[in-house]
Amino acid sequence: MPADSLFRALVPAQKNLQIEFEGASLSVPAGVSLASALLLSGITHTRESAVSGRPGAPYCMMGVCFECLVEVDGQANCQACLLPVRAGMRVRRQRGAREFLAGDHVEAGADE
Amino acid sequence: MQKTDVVIVGGGLVGLSIAYGLAMLGRQVSVLDEGDDALRAARGNFGLLWVQGKGYGMSPYAQWTRESVALWPRFAAALQADTGIDLHLRQPGGFQLCLSDKEMAEESRRLLWLREAMDGDYPFELLDAAQLRTRLPGLGPTVLGGCYSPMDGHVNPLKLLRSLYAACRMRGVTIINGQRVSAIGQRASGFELLTGQQRWFAGQVVLAAGLGNRELGAQLGMDVPVSPNRGQILVTERLKPFLHYPTTYVRQTDEGTVQLGDSHESTGFDDGTSSEVMSTIARRAVQCFPQLGNVRLVRAWGALRVMSADGFPIYEASQACPGAFVVSCHSGVTLAAIHALRLAPWIGGEFDEPAVAPFSLQRFSLKREVRHAG
């Protein structure tokens, strides 16, 4: 995939930490955004559009395009490019729109 | 010098609806649009096709609005046939939610007046809190009641503007952006307009320039009393569908976001935002649907709507400059259908349209005379 070759860290990581993406454990550099951490791990499918279902991945990296939406520790629609990566984050793809009213049990663990 | 049958000044929802209507009649139309630094009332719209409560104190406006929403399905179908764009038109009725007894009393009074003025043909229901809750899941305990009217609906206003652009172009309308009209003058057989270094000539000119109509109208000897009314809008992250009806404070769009709004301020030409008004809008939305308190807002903005001196539309065929028309209104979405299908044919001289007479500028000068006499 193109992102594998194009997205590289400028400097080697001083320290790594563990997060989870779709149930799989990833070792990522500390001190970067969650979006960077996912891209550095070669992950290029982080959400499915609420409008069309089209797969997407982090794009603008500055909080504008909303392509990097993920679910973090049960909290839907988090912008991964604006979140510093934290040890133990449980991250899932944002699939479509957030559940609301019906079955809206998403608050546990949301703290950012 | 570029010549055309009709020049429309303003490429917003109002100007393009008229352009579309005229193009369907085979007229050669050019639209001069200012540019993205223009004030653009469309930015402040909420996507409502709203009838209930409109025309209080002026029943022809209530009638005109109703006729427009009745034309909307045909209008949307024509646009979709031309462009393939689904505007997501939905007309399930709409709710005005009331958070105080005073608000409920005021809304009821207006609707009852309108029903009377429309000879009883004005469907709505006044609902208490319990009745409302059965129709709108998730409603908060501080909503005291509300009004429902089956006449109301909503549409995706961004797709509307996009489809009007596409449909107009498809039907041969020339839309030119970045053209701020600096001067208009009447000539022997039409009108000459200046934009920067370019000159335009047309047999007819339609001013649909929003707040710009005041200045442009003055150049043709017309006093167009419009002024800016600021509205602020907040929009949320995308949520699974939960609100299947439009309400005046909260509307869920077809793509999942929720618009929160309905503020009215006189701030001159300042189209910014203020934390005080944004927090009022957010608080009111959370009162309506408490679970919105846990939802992220992704954007907020302000926009200047166009308000005439009495709040009603202005449709003027100039007596002094035959061929010059002024169109100013607050409800560019609700009225888009009737602007395309009835106002444009009237402007194009296809037939007489008695329904527009009450909206002429004359009403403002008549009022002034009465005031002087009193």
CA distances from B53 to B180, B275, B366 (A): 36, 29, 25
* SS3 state at A31: coil
Tell me which amino acid residue B200 is: W
Contact (Cβ atoms closer than 8 angstroms) between residue B315 and residue B363: no
Task: Please tell me the distance from the alpha carbon of residue A84 to that of residue A36, in angstroms, as a whole number.
Answer: 9
Q: Are B148 and B125 in contact (CB under 8 A)?
A: yes
The CATH code of domain B2-49+158-225+310-373 reads: 3.50.50.60
How much is the average pLDDT of B250-264?
96
Question: Distance between CA B132 and CA A8 in Å, rounded?
Answer: 55
Reading chain A (112 residues) residue by residue, the pLDDT tens digits are 444 567 888 888 899 999 999 999 999 999 999 999 999 999 999 999 999 999 999 999 999 999 999 999 999 999 999 999 999 999 999 999 999 986 444 444 333 3
Contacts of B242 in chain A (CB under 8 A): 100-102
Residues of B in contact with A98 (CB under 8 A): 237-240, 295
The answer on pLDDT for B148 being more than 80 is: yes
DSSP three-state, residue A94? strand
**Mean pLDDT, range B189-195, rounded to an integer:** 95
User: How close B255 comes to chain A (CA, Å)?
Assistant: 6
A76–B237: do the CB atoms touch at under 8 Å?
yes
Do B151 and B93 form a contact (C-beta atoms < 8 A)? Answer: yes
Under the banding of pLDDT at 50, 70 and 90, the label for residue B369 is low
CATH no., domain B226-308: 3.30.9.10
pLDDT (0 to 100) of residue A31: 94
Instruction: Supply the pLDDT for residue B78.
Output: 98
CB < 8 Å to A100, chain B: 239-240, 242, 291, 295
As a whole number of angstroms, the distance between CA B223 and CA A8 comes to 63
Write out chain A residues lying below 8 Å of B299, CB-based: none
Is the pLDDT reported for residue B196 higher than 90? no
- Give the mean pLDDT of B27-44: 91
Q: Are the CB atoms for B342 and B355 separated by under 8 Å?
A: yes
CA–CA separation, B284 and B261 (whole Å): 9
Higher pLDDT, B237 or B367: B237
Structure tokens at A3: 């992102």
What's the pLDDT score for residue B367? 64
Kindly report each contact of residues B186-195 with a partner whose C-beta sits within 8 Å and lies 24 or more positions away, as own/partner.
B186/B220, B186/B321, B186/B324, B190/B323, B191/B7, B191/B321, B191/B323, B191/B324, B193/B7, B193/B9, B193/B32, B195/B32
Nearest CB partner across the interface for A97, out of B138, B238, B296: B238
Which pair of tokens denotes residue B69?
A: 């929403």
Specify the DSSP class assigned to residue B88: -
B240 contact residues in A (CB cutoff 8 A)? 96-102
Question: Stretch B240-247: mean pLDDT, rounded?
Answer: 96
Determine the residue among B238, B258, B292 to mutate to test chain A binding: the one whose Cβ has the most chain A Cβ atoms within 10 Å.
Answer: B238
pTM above 0.90, yes or no: yes
Phi, psi at residue B247, to the nearest 5°? -130, 165
- Nearest C-alpha in B relative to A103: B240
Residue B5 pLDDT > 70: yes
Residue A105: per-residue pLDDT: 43
Supply B174's token pair. 């020339």
Percentage of chain B surpassing pLDDT 70? 98
Q: Is residue B133 classed as helix, strand or coil in its secondary structure?
A: helix
**Sequential DSSP letters for B252-316:** E-TTS-EEE----B--TT-----HHHHHHHHHHHHHHSGGGGGS-EEEEEEEEEEEETTSS-EEE
Which range has the worst mean pLDDT, B167-171, B324-328, B361-365?
A: B361-365
Terminal CA-CA length for chain A:
31
Q: Are B228 and B302 in contact (CB under 8 A)?
A: no
Mean pLDDT calculated for residue range B332-344:
98
**Reported ipTM:** 0.84
Q: So where are chain B's domains? A: 2-49+158-225+310-373, 94-150, 226-308
pLDDT, chain B, mean: 95
Q: In this predicted structure, what is the pLDDT of residue B197?
A: 84
- Whether B359 has a pLDDT exceeding 50, the answer reads yes
Is the CB of A76 less than 8 angstroms away from the CB of B255?
no
Query: According to DSSP H, which parts of A17-78 are helical?
Result: 34-40
What are the tens digits of pLDDT across the range B95-144? 999 999 999 999 999 999 999 999 999 999 999 999 999 999 999 999 99
Q: Which residues of B touch A (CB under 8 A)?
A: 137-138, 237-242, 255-256, 291, 294-296, 298
Whether B206 has a pLDDT exceeding 80, the answer reads yes
Place of tokens 């709203």: B50
Is residue A2 exposed (0-12), middle (13-18) or buried (19+ Cβ within 10 Å)?
exposed
Helix (H, G, I), strand (E, B) or coil at B236: strand
Q: Cα–Cα distance between B235 and B257 in angstroms, integer?
A: 6
Contacts of B138 in chain A (CB under 8 A): 101
Domains of chain A: 2-7+17-95 (3.10.20.440)
**A window 37-56, beta carbon within 8 A of B:** 50-51
CB contact under 8 A, B240 and A98: yes
Interface with A, mutate which of B239, B286, B291 (most A CBs under 10 A): B239
